[in-house]
Structures are given as structure tokens and as C-alpha cells.
A and B are shown apart, each in its own frame.
Chain A
Amino acid sequence: MNDQPAPLLQVSDLSIRFGELTAVDRISFQIGKGETVAVVGESGSGKSVTALALTRLLPPAPACQVTGQIQFRGQNLAALDDQGLRRIRGKEIAYIFQEPSASLNPVFTIGAQIAEAIRLHRPDVSDPAVEIIRVLDLVGIRDPEKRFRSYPHQLSGGMQQRAMIAMALVCQPAILVADEPTTALDVTIQAQIIDLLRELKAKLGMSILMITHNFGIVHGFADRVLVMFRGKIVEEGPTEQVLRHPRHPYTQALIGCIPRLGQKKQRLTTIDYSQIT
């Protein structure tokens, strides 16, 4: 290993435009092997489209224009054709989305959907059923032999998200992109899912790109934080540093919004945008 190993994913000068609107404006960042990076920002700050742009999941031009470079293991994903991208999607860069109940296809069983991921990317697996039960067990789904045959609507939200994670993990991706994986879940389940992701990361050594608007789950989970505001990265740094000493006024405002336990009864803080430039 070199002293300074090349990052797994290197994004440079990425811009995303929808017609007149610039959703993401020349951002650059990188993700190292085994690193957890959190992208934090409010709705419309461009964090979700950034995640989708990594494997070009956005609508094609002219509806949406993506420029810039996305280097994954020395390969520019922005220049890859559809077939090449399909080999990256799921296999190398896997996604989990915000709404687990909508991300699972309602007409197929959990097992069938995980089997599809295996079919697409894991020709080495001879017995998919065994592998599916193994990953379902890995993500903490009890009774995997039974859940295997369950339809999405028969599972709770937390279980559905676990199934989604299982689907993403079965291909052993290098990077897991988690687009607000806990937003649609209630607070106790949120904590369980975050714990699960942390545990899996330690076990499997993959990188995670976590997209969230919630500073609460960043702490103790992410190694590094990117703060996005109006399509730009306004602050970047190790989690502890950003949380303790936010420099950009937007970051300060965002952290100020987190309600604390034992806080005096008062109006919740909101962001005064006129103060931020």
C-alpha cells in the first residue's frame, strides 16, 4: 500500500443542471476504501441527485445535464456506456433508498427480489436460496427461511429496509450509497438501522456514502462530513471537527436546529437564510 492510496471514488467538478436550474454546482469530493462519508443538507440542496448521478441514474439529456468526472477505481463512470454502467450499479455501487415500502416491488417476494440481484451480478453463487438466507440473517431478519417467501407488504417498515439492505449487500458492493435510509422510519427503528449499517461496515469493510438531513445520525457514524447548501459543498471535514467547530454559517445554523434533550421550552430554532450568503 502506498502512503497515500488513490481514493475509491473521486468526484471532480460535478455539475447537474435541470434546464435552467443548477441543482449541483461544480462539487468535488472523494471517498476512500472503508470510509464513511455523510452528505448533509436540507431538501433541495442537491445531495440526492449527487448520489444518483454517481451511476447516472438521473433522467437522460436533455432533461438533465451532468458534467464533470466521476472516477471509480480509475474508471470514469461519466464516460461509460449503459452496459458498462449496469456492471457497476448494484455490483460495485449499491443503493438503498428513503422509502423502503416503495423501493421494493410489491408483486414479488423478498426472496425473489434478492435472487434477482444474485442473478444479475453473482454468477459464482450456485445455490441462491442459501445465499439469500445468509444475507437476510446478516441484516438481522429473524426467521429468514420464512421471510424469504414474504411479500413486502407483509413486513414492517424496519424489516423492509433491512430487506433492501440485504438486497444491496448480496452483491458485496465496494460502496453503499444510503439515500436517507432512515427518514421514513420511526426513531427507534432509525437507531437500529444505523447500528446495523455500522456493524455491517465493520464486518464487510465497504465504504458508505450516507445522505441525510439529520446531523443526529451523523455523529458517531460518519468519518467525514460534507455539508451541501444550494448545490455547493460549503463545508467539509472530519465529523468531530465539523460538529464541534462549524465554520460556515449554514452549518452552524443547521447544527443549531437540532433540538436537545433537557432543552428549555422555547420555539425550535429555524434557519434565517438572510444571514447566510
Chain B
Amino acid sequence: MFSEITRQQFRRFRTIRRAWYSFWILLAAYVLSLGSEQIANDRPLLLGYEGRWYFPTLKFYSSETFAGRYRTEADYLALEKEPSFEQKGGWMIFPPIKASPLRSYLDQKGNPPHPPSAQHWLGTDDSARDVLARLLYGFRTSMSFALALALLGTLIGAIIGGVQGYIGGFFDLTAQRLIEIWSALPFLYVVILIGSIYGQTFTVLLLVFSLFQWIGLSYYMRGEFFRLKDQTFAQAARALGASHTRVLFRHILPNALNPIVTIFPFSLIGGISSLTALDFLGFGLPPPTPSWGEMLQQGLKYLYAPWLALASVLALFITLLLASFVGEGARAAFDPKATNTVR
């Protein structure tokens, strides 16, 4: 599938240490965050009670299971302190961060936001929710959103730009003007409008964002296809009896992967920062979804509680920096003009 040149480009990407390590750190962090429930939770990973084992992070157990009174989910933090629980041989192993992003810890001294303590390493926010847990879950949300957005945008952009470049002529010019009009739409208002009609869910936001995300890439793909469609191998494929769709996607597209690979990390950055910005303004994912933008806003609101702003700004800064390093490395590695230079 990959040509020698592509493999060489991947090898070169690996030699750019900063990009290579950033890539792995980011990937590892994301994979870890996919299991956030096992890392930060107010439910125990493992619970032993009357000789049986329970896995509360994975499964729902009602309070009645542990001799409680209600059918609702057991409150494990309260249960842990229950003397009768311990008497019946109950024990629990909690995740490393013993806090859920949605739970309010109001049993502390003072008013929220609480400063960092042994229990809440990065303090709590204005609803007394654990900042570290929210940071972790927020990372997962941001990255998932940005990844899905970048994938969707790449798909749409590659298809539209590719078809434009391949057909060319009047179709291309018309499409180009329409895209210009489309890109002039005030994005924020569209998001607010559609969000208020259909609700600001993850999917709705993703779809609205992707309506605009593809435009940048489509310009590059259009240019690539313009160049490649007149190459002899495209004509040779036609002369062999391949259909237009086949030439477009099977023969030309694999030759036009450079802009896709180089722009992808930067779309990721764009996705994370736009979602954060939207959350900051209050038009993003609805509360109480853990989100970095919302935390930034709190940080601004409670300047006397610097852990809020510090935690969210640092997290955002590090993530964007790592993604930028990856993007920078990819751009250098996949630069077609650098193929023959000796590094």
C-alpha cells in the first residue's frame, strides 16, 4: 500500500525526535484517558463483600446489594465509612484518583472552590468538584471531539477538493465561489443557532463544526488533484478502462496524501481550541460535562483560586504544544521538496 517514498517519509518523521516523542506521549495520554473511569472515580475498582467480588466501575450495583435501603446506585464513599460494611468483611480498592468529575465534595472545610489538598490534588471548582478528575475527563472529551472532527473534516475536504480538482472547469469555479460564500458565514452564530434548536450535544456540535472544518484542506486537495490528473499515469489508467471514480480515488488519491497527513495534526489543534473556546463562551457542551473551556471560564471568574486557571491553562498549553510538535514534524517529514535532501 505504501510506496518507498512514503515509508522514507515515515522514517524521517521518526528521526525528528521532538515530533516522534510528542506523538507517543499524546497517543499514550489519549489511550489512557479512554479508561478514565478506572483512573478517576468515586466507585471502587474492586469491592469485596460477604465473600463475593464486585466491579463497581464497570457495572451498576444498587444500594440494596450492600444491605442498603435504596434501589439507586450505592454511594461507595459513604459505604466505606459504614461500620456494618466492614463488619461483614467488606473492603474496596479505589482508583488512583478517588474522585468523580461530577460529584460535589461539600464535606470539606470552607466554601468551594477549595484549594489543593491531599484529597483533591488540584483543588475543587466552584461546585466543589475535583479539578484533576475533570481535567482528565475533559481531555478525553476534547481529544475525541478533535479527532472525530479532524477525521470528518479530512474525509469531506478530500472528497470535495478532489472532485473539484479532478473535474475542473466550470464546475470547479462555481464550487469554489460557493465555498467562499460558505466560509464567510459567521461560524459562531451558526453554532449558537443550531445548538439552540437541536441542543448542544456532542454529535450536534461535531456536525456543525465539521460543516466548516473541511474548507482549508479542500483547497490543498484541489490543487493536488489539478496537478495529478494530467499526469500520464492518470491518463494511462483511463486508457486501461478504469472509471472516473476509480481513477479519482484509487489512482490519484494515494498520490495526494501529503496534505492530508501534514494538515491532520493542525486540524486536531484547531478542534481542541475551538471546542475549548466555545465552552468558555458557554455555547459548548452542556453542563455538567467536564470541559476545559468551562474550567477556564471559572478560572477567570475566581481569580483568587489560581489552581483553576493554572490547571486548565497548563493542560491546554501542553496538549496544544505536543500536537504542534507532531504537526511540525509531519510537515518537515512529508515536505515533497525535502525528499532528496540529505539530513
A interface residue numbers (CB < 8 A to B):
55, 57, 63, 82, 86-91, 94-95, 97-99, 102-108, 116-117, 120-121, 151, 153-154, 164, 167
Contact = CB atoms under 8 A, between A and B. Distances in A.
Given A89-B238, A105-B237, A99 B254 contact: no
Contacts of B6: 107
A94 B238 CA distance: 10
Interface in B219-255: 231-233, 235-244, 251, 254-255
Contacts of B255: 105-107
B241 A151 contact: no
Contacts of B240: 89-90, 94-95, 116-117, 120, 167
A164 B3 CA distance: 18
Contacts of B2: 107
Contacts of A104: 233, 236
Given A105-B251, A106-B5, A107-B3, A57 B237 contact: no
A104 B235 CA distance: 10
Contacts of B233: 102-106
Interface string B300-338: 000000000000000000000000000000000000000
- Which of B3, B238, B239 has its CB near the most chain A CB atoms (within 10 A)? B239
B107 interface: no
Contacts of A87: 241
Contacts of B237: 105, 116
A106 B3 contact: yes
Contacts of A120: 240-242
Contacts of B241: 86-91, 120-121
Contact of B239 (A57, A63, A151, A154): A57
- 9 closest A-B pairs by beta carbon, nearest first, are A90-B241, A89-B241, A90-B240, A102-B232, A95-B239, A107-B3, A103-B236, A103-B232, A107-B254
A117 B233 CA distance: 13
Contacts of A154: 4
Given A102-B231, A106-B255, A107-B3, A86 B243 contact: yes
A164 B240 CA distance: 11
Interface of B: 1-6, 169, 231-233, 235-244, 251, 254-255
Contacts of A105: 233, 237, 251, 254-255
Nearest to B5: A106
A103 to B, nearest CB: 4
9 contacts: A55-B239, A97-B232, A102-B233, A103-B236, A107-B1, A116-B237, A120-B240, A153-B3, A154-B4
Nearest to A121: B241
Nearest to B6: A107
A138 B1 CA distance: 26
Contacts of A86: 241-243
B3 A99 contact: no
A17 B242 CA distance: 25
Given A99-B232, A106-B233, 13 more contacts: A86-B241, A95-B239, A95-B240, A97-B239, A98-B232, A102-B232, A103-B233, A103-B235, A106-B255, A121-B241, A153-B5, A154-B4, A167-B240
A55 B2 CA distance: 32
A125 B242 CA distance: 18
Most buried by B among A86, A117, A167: A86
A110 B288 CA distance: 57
A130 to B, nearest CB: 20
Contacts of B239: 55, 57, 89-90, 94-95, 97
Q: Which residue, B1, B240, B254, B255, has most C-beta atoms of chain A within 10 A?
A: B240
Contacts of B254: 105, 107-108
A102 B239 CA distance: 14
Contacts of A108: 3, 254
A52 to B, nearest CB: 8
B130 to A, nearest CB: 50
A55 B242 CA distance: 13
Contacts of B5: 106, 153
A108 B254 CA distance: 9
A151 B4 contact: yes
Nearest to A56: B238
B235 A57 contact: yes
A120 B247 CA distance: 13
A151 B244 CA distance: 24
A116 B236 CA distance: 12
B265 to A, nearest CB: 22
Contact of B4 (A98, A153, A167): A153
A128 to B, nearest CB: 15
Of the candidates A88, A108, A154, the one having the most CB atoms from chain B within 10 angstroms of its own CB is A108
B236 A97 contact: yes
A153 B3 CA distance: 10
A90 B247 CA distance: 14
